[in-house]
Homo-oligomer: A and B are copies of this chain.
Amino acid sequence: MTQTIKAGIVGATGYTGVELLRLLAQHPQVQVAAVTSRGEAGVALADYFPSLRGIYPNLYFQTPDQADLAACDVVFFATPNGVAMQEAPPLLAAGVKVVDLSADYRIQDIATWQQWYGMSHASPEWVARAVYGLSELNRSAIAQAQLVANPGCYPTCVSLPLVPLLQQGCLKSGAPLIADCKSGVSGAGRKASVGSLFAEAGDNFKAYGVGGHRHLPEIRQTINTLQSGVADGLVFVPHLTPLIRGMHATIYLHTEAGVNPHALLAEHYQNSPFVDILPAGSTPETRSVRGANICRISVQQAPQSEVWIILSVIDNLVKGAAGQAVQNMNIMFGIDENAGLNITPLLP
């Protein structure tokens, strides 16, 4: 008999929340049992998100108190930073598995986390037990984990192509490693803010966070875990581009002599259904992954140069957030990693 996983979502009124609801609706083994929102308690999901009309006919937002989250098999935190570190531990203590889509458990070094996120960490003991949920990197640890720290969107997009190179020690130590990244506006979340208005972010392109973005220490941590001497060369510049969804990383790197990154990535990911290494000469486009849990990557060598260029695209709300969270849940429960994630991207 097929297992049914009872899932709860904390903070489901944002973009990662509604995306979790979209993905879980088509998951063959999940029943969404509880969805919380302090601000919208009592409101039917379908009234808040008309796209969900008919999908969850009997589901209403509840306060975290009303919703019996401890009765769930898994709880997703789709909350602002600082919530999960407070609210996840009691659930974990009750034996619930947790996938945290916020940043609370991503950084192992508490001091570093506190410096970048500007708060005291409320449950450092759980940081030590959390597994960083870059699914393709930590699959076996995730399978054993009770708490998964779902990676940030930029770290996912940048790290997936780097992991195989780092694991084999192929990046040149001390050389620059530049990640020029571009994100759609949904990455800023569904909260009122002038900078994310259509009339501000539309028909406009700009860099931001050049002096330091919270995803920088997260990428550094992954690099340092895999190859030493490389993270110091990392330069990370995020940009805002007028997409609703979509993220594109253009990575400039130097390898040790004789390395062919394309062949290496193609071999490494040949059995990973959600990482797609494109044929030589290709350039991925963000819409080729729209709505799907896929990272597409191409590798090119700059003309007359020793610099390698890696182009990596994800949907920031799927492989960059809710999709990877579902993938991690599948791994945690030992079910088919693809369950609920066989999605053809929406094009055009």
Say whether B185 contacts A182, CB under 8 Å. Answer: no
Q: A199-B185, A296-B50, A305-B235 are in contact. Are A204 and B344 (CB under 8 A)?
A: no
With A239-B182, A283-B208 known as contacts, the answer to whether A344 contacts B196 (CB < 8 A) is no
Closest residue on chain B to residue A242 by CB atoms: B242
Contact A196 B193 (CB under 8 A): no
A348 at the interface (CB under 8 A from B): yes
Query: A25-B344, A178-B252 given as contacts; is B288 within 8 A of A50 (CB)?
Result: yes
Distance in angstroms from A205 CB to nearest chain B CB is 5
B243 touches A204 (CB 8 A): yes
What number of copies of this chain does the assembly contain?
4
Cβ-defined partner of A206 (8 Å) among B21, B200, B248: B248
- Are A51's CB and B345's CB within 8 A? yes
User: Separation in Å of the A262 CB from the closest CB of chain B?
Assistant: 13
> In residues 35-55 of chain A, which contact B (Cβ within 8 Å)?
49-55
Q: Tell me whether A141 is interfacial, beta carbon within 8 Å.
A: no
Cβ of A229 within 8 Å of any chain B Cβ, yes or no, is no
Residues of B within 8 A of A273 (CB): 54
CB contact between A205 and one of B49, B182, B216, B281 (< 8 Å): that residue: B182
| B50 close to A206 (CB less than 8 A) | no
A303 to chain B, nearest CB (A): 5
* CB-defined contacts of A203 to chain B, threshold 8 Å: 202-203, 243-246, 286-287, 290
The answer, yes or no, to whether A232 is at the interface (CB within 8 Å) is yes
If A51-B289, A198-B201, A202-B244 are given as contacts, then 6 extra A-B residue pairs at C-beta distance below 8 Å, sorted by A number, are A26-B342, A192-B197, A196-B198, A202-B348, A207-B311, A317-B348
B212 contacts A303, C-beta separation under 8 Å: yes
Q: Determine if A250 and B237 form an interchain contact, defined as CB atoms under 8 angstroms apart.
A: yes
